[in-house]
Amino acid sequence: MDVLLVDDSKTMRMLVQRAIRQAGYRSLSIGEAENGVQALETMQKEKPTLVLSDWNMPEMSGIELLQSLRQGGNKTPFGFITSESSTEIKDLAMSSGASFLLTKPFNPDDVQTALEPFLGGC
């Protein structure tokens, strides 16, 4: 699996997948999870190159997922795609080990810029 997409909105998972394809990453293997708990379960079986996660989700939020991964020694690159845009949230994301925070709404260029350091050019 190249990318694990974590968002409680099926619509947003579809939009992110579409943006990833439009950014030129047409052959990536993309897995999905509806919240942090599902993502942790998936990551016990799979080792994605990159995790893309929403912030606010039921069961386990994106920041809780990231903190759980880092506390367990998992260093998989992690980026947020969220409607959260305040400085305090960005600071918390980065200090917890996130590589980037992409604010909704986004376009394929934004996605390509964010993904390229981890997935290479396309």
Q: Is the CB of 41 or the CB of 109 nearer to other proteins?
A: 109
Q: Is the CB of 70 or the CB of 104 nearer to other proteins?
A: 104
Q: Is the CB of 29 or the CB of 85 nearer to other proteins?
A: 85
Q: Whole-number minimum distance, CB 77 to other proteins, in Å?
A: 24
Whose tokens are 């909704």? That residue is: 104
Q: Whole-number minimum distance, CB 14 to other proteins, in Å?
A: 8
Q: What is the contact surface with other proteins in residues (CB under 8 A)?
A: 9-12, 15, 56, 83-86, 88-89, 103-107
Beta-carbon neighbour count of residue 23 at 10 Å?
Answer: 21
Q: Whole-number minimum distance, CB 102 to other proteins, in Å?
A: 12
Q: Is the CB of 22 or the CB of 42 nearer to other proteins?
A: 22
Query: Residue 48 in contact with residue 1, Cβ under 8 Å?
Result: yes
Which residues, other chains included, contact 69 with Cβ-Cβ below 8 Å and sequence gap of 6+?
A: 40, 43, 51, 76, 78, 97
Q: Whole-number minimum distance, CB 94 to other proteins, in Å?
A: 16
SS3 content of the chain, % helix, strand, coil (to 5): 45, 15, 40
Q: Is 34 helix (H, G, I), strand (E, B) or coil?
A: coil
